[in-house]
């Protein structure tokens, strides 16, 4: 039909075939985007679940990447796109929320809290906490115990 030059409808057939091709391509691309978003959400859920289970012992993104059999770069990209927060921010959020809770609701020493969160030293914990919260653990505790 299309390859017959004498066909008077040849041009219209080509136009309709081209439209059909692009409509099909659009449908395919739309489904790919939906599948990609669903996949991103599943990876994000898996990542956050792993963080919930392991944040006390592991604050490095590579640990989670290895657990998920992905690269740290890929996880970072997916988590940021899916949640609006970086993977590192999620890890820090869990660590800091635990630290804040312990500082404001227990009488445990800063050193005990640091070790409960598997920091190598009280000093390292203090620097980490201060970098994220903007206060030292002692200042945070004093502010929230009043």
pLDDT tens, residue by residue, 30-75: 554 455 678 899 999 999 999 999 999 999 999 999 999 999 999 9
Q: What's the pTM? A: 0.74
Q: What is residue 121's predicted lDDT score, i.e. its pLDDT?
A: 96
Q: Is the pLDDT of residue 135 over 50?
A: yes
User: Could you give the percent of the chain with pLDDT greater than 70?
Assistant: 78
Q: What is the mean pLDDT of the chain?
A: 86
Rounded CA Rg of the chain: 27
Which of 139, 134, 53 is CA-nearest to residue 104? 139
Mean pLDDT of 4-9: 72
> What pLDDT shows up at residue 86?
94
Confidence bin at 28 (pLDDT 50/70/90):
low
Number of helices (H) and strands (E), helices first, in the chain?
7, 0
**Cβ partners under 8 Å of residue 74, min gap 6:** 65
pLDDT, position 120: 96
| Percent of the chain clearing pLDDT 90 (strictly above) | 69
- In whole angstroms, how far apart are CA 33 and each of 29, 47, 132? 6, 21, 35
pLDDT at 104: 93
Lowest mean pLDDT segment, chosen from 9-13, 83-87, 106-110, 131-135: 9-13
Q: Is 69 left (phi over 0), alpha (psi -120 to 50) or beta?
A: left
């Amino acid at each position: 039909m299309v390859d017959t030059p004498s066909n008077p409808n040849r041009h219209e057939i080509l136009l309709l075939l081209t439209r059909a091709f692009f409509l099909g391509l659009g449908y395919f691309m739309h489904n790919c985007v939906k599948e990609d978003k669903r996949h991103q959400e599943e990876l994000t859920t898996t990542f956050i679940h792993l963080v919930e289970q392991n944040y006390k012992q592991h604050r490095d993104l590579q640990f989670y990447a290895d657990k998920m059999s992905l690269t740290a770069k890929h996880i970072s990209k997916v988590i940021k796109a899916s949640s609006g927060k970086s993977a590192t921010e999620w890890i820090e959020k869990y660590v800091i929320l635990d630290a804040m809770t312990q500082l404001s609701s227990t009488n445990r020493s800063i050193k005990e809290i640091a070790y409960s969160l598997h920091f190598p030293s009280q000093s390292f914990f203090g620097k980490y906490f201060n970098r994220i919260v903007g206060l030292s653990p002692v200042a945070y505790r004093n502010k929230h115990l009043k």
